Amino acid sequence: QVQLVQSGAEVKKPGSSVKVSCKASGGSFNNFAITWVRQAPGQGPEWMGRVIPILDTAYYAQKFQGRVTFTADKSTNTAYMDLSSLRSEDTAIYYCARDMVGLLDFWGQGTLVTVSS
């Protein structure tokens, strides 16, 4: 059974960056992609993009292009999401999920990122 464990909550100033980690256990990074989804308070999930660790390839939703970077460390089975130029609208819970050809079948517990001056 795959488990995804994310890093803890963050409070950031507008204009700064945040890096969220997602460590997988119970499965190899060689076999799946990691998708990142965020959810603003009271809103539905929003897809940010995905990374395929074995190919070192990332795809970004157009909305976040240029502001987000996904990376993956295959040696530690850990994926990272780096979001820059933070603004108040980026306040949300950020989730990683195992992506099996579009199916998001295992999710991390979520990381709350609060952007506030």
Partner 1 sequence: EIVLTQSPGTLSLSPGERATLSCRASQNVRSSNFAWYQQKPGQAPRLLIYGASSRATGIPDRFSGSGSGTDFTLTITGLEPEDFAVYYCQQHGSSPPMYTFGQGTKVEIK
- What are the residues binding partner 1 (CB under 8 A)? 35, 37, 43-47, 49-50, 59, 61, 95, 97, 102-105, 107-110
Least separation, in Å, of the C-beta of 115 and partner 1?
A: 21
Least separation, in Å, of the C-beta of 4 and partner 1?
A: 9
- 22 vs 115 by CB, closer to partner 1: 22
SS3 string, the chain, reads CCEEEECCCEEECCCCCEEEEEEEECCCHHHCEEEEEEECCCCCCEEEEEEEHHHCEEEECHHHCCCEEEEEECCCCEEEEEECCCCHHHCEEEEEEEEECCEEEEECCCEEEEECC
- 43 vs 75 by CB, closer to partner 1: 43
Least separation, in Å, of the C-beta of 116 and partner 1?
A: 21
Cα–Cα distance between 115 and 90 in angstroms, integer?
Answer: 7
Least separation, in Å, of the C-beta of 15 and partner 1?
A: 28
- 19 vs 63 by CB, closer to partner 1: 63
